[in-house]
Amino acid sequence: MKALFLTNEYPPYIYGGAGVHVEYLTKELAKLMDVEVRCFGDQRLQEQHLKATGYSYDKALFDNCDKKLKSPLTAFYNSIMFNADNIDAQIVHCHTWYTHLGGILAKMAYGIPLFITSHSLEPLRPWKREQLGNGYELSLWIEKTAMEMADCLIAVSKGMKDDIVSLFNVNPDKIKIVYNGIDTDEYDKKTDNSALIKYGVNPEKPYVLFVGRITRQKGIIHLVNAIKHINDEAQIVLCAGAPDTPEIKSEMEAGVKKVQQSRKNVIWIQKMLPKDEVIQLYSHADVFCCPSIYEPFGIINLEAMACSTTVVASAVGGIVEIIEQGKTGYLVPLEQLKESPFEPVEPEKFSKDLADSINKVLDDKSLAAHMGELGRRRAVEHFSWKAIASEIYALYNEYR
């Protein structure tokens, strides 16, 4: 049996959790079966049971395109090209809406079952309209069409399954829950602190860490607004790049500049760092903060836990299935506006609550160490990629 993965992200071009998921899952699945990956980029990989090919487009084709439409239209273009090359797989497995058209075409043209792993849902990300304009209508349409045509839907959390059932006309029986995973050999506490020194972080002082993209979804602005309430001696390290829009980039710049006027220990690393450097940052942090306002799973929390770091995160989506409240970290309640899921009802209160939980950890080093130890144990025992690959392989066999 052979599975064809269609994905936007694949090494070395990874910027989010979906890309991390595909990288590790395909690696483990290739120990059980043949796997081919078709992705966006110029990748070329040929191993015994794992092949990857990147697809790109002639930029001149989109010279006259509205810049907000370029993302969905180029995704559709690549999805067609995925199918222009012959497909000899028995399963097509899509990751994120960028590849859903490719999955639909493969199902129809090659007569193979369509699997979709849902990492997030477009109707619950209305801030994407700020980025995509009317292109958001295209992403909404293609996701709905593909989800309702899929033979099997994989939700990365129970919360995600509930959202799928409420948003789409799908039979709940065809939705399977398979969590994201973590390589706990790679993500483990490191003693090397060269990355800290490189980016101006004092290894002798405590620090709070954020890792992620600058996007409404990740809630980073709320953490920036919480900084004024966090213990003065703690450094704040914001490893945050790849802003979604010029608007949120400007908002981030203004927010950081404001807090830096009264606090000199706020360090903003404005790029996505190599994995080994991020692992160092996780390893030496006293607290990792994930202030997301929408998070179907939240793999970054697992990464921090695997490095024995206590997590403070918003109590949304799949995060509540990862963190054990008061054991491996703290979950901060988040009440959201019904008409705007990307905004807390009381943003100042949410920021203050984040800071209060962060300070609890900073104030008690023995508590932080104990929570970090329990978090590491939970990551190892419940979220290994080997177990997840076995679950996916068993699902594939049900549809052969």
Residue 273 amino acid letter? L
Query: What is the third-level CATH fold of 194-382?
Result: Rossmann fold (3.40.50)
294-320 pLDDT, tens digit each? 898 999 999 999 999 999 999 998 999
- For residues 69 and 85, the answer to whether their CB atoms sit within 8 Å is no
Ranges of each domain in the chain: 2-181+384-398, 194-382
Q: Do domains 2-181+384-398 and 194-382 have the same CATH topology?
A: yes
Residues in Cβ contact with 18 at an 8 Å cutoff, skipping those fewer than 6 apart: 7, 8, 9, 95, 96, 119, 120
DSSP 149-160: H-SEEEESSHHH
| Per-residue confidence band for 338, with pLDDT thresholds at 50, 70 and 90 | low
| Per-residue confidence band for 74, with pLDDT thresholds at 50, 70 and 90 | very high
Q: pLDDT at residue 122 above 90?
A: yes
| Per-residue confidence band for 341, with pLDDT thresholds at 50, 70 and 90 | low
141-171 pLDDT, tens digit each? 999 999 999 999 999 999 999 999 999 999 9
Residue 45: beta bridge partners?
A: 52
Alpha-carbon span 14 to 241, nearest angstrom: 13
How far from the centroid of its chain's Cα atoms is residue 279's Cα?
16
Which CATH code, of 3.40.50.11030, 1.10.3720.10, 3.40.50.2000, 3.40.1210.10, is assigned to 2-181+384-398?
3.40.50.2000
60-70 pLDDT, tens digit each? 899 999 999 99
**pLDDT for position 59:** 86
| Separation of first and last alpha carbons in the chain | 8
| Per-residue confidence band for 229, with pLDDT thresholds at 50, 70 and 90 | very high
Nearest to 210 by CA among 230, 192, 194: 230
78-105 pLDDT, tens digit each? 999 999 999 999 999 999 999 999 999 9
- For residues 179 and 340, the answer to whether their CB atoms sit within 8 Å is no
- For residues 18 and 95, the answer to whether their CB atoms sit within 8 Å is yes
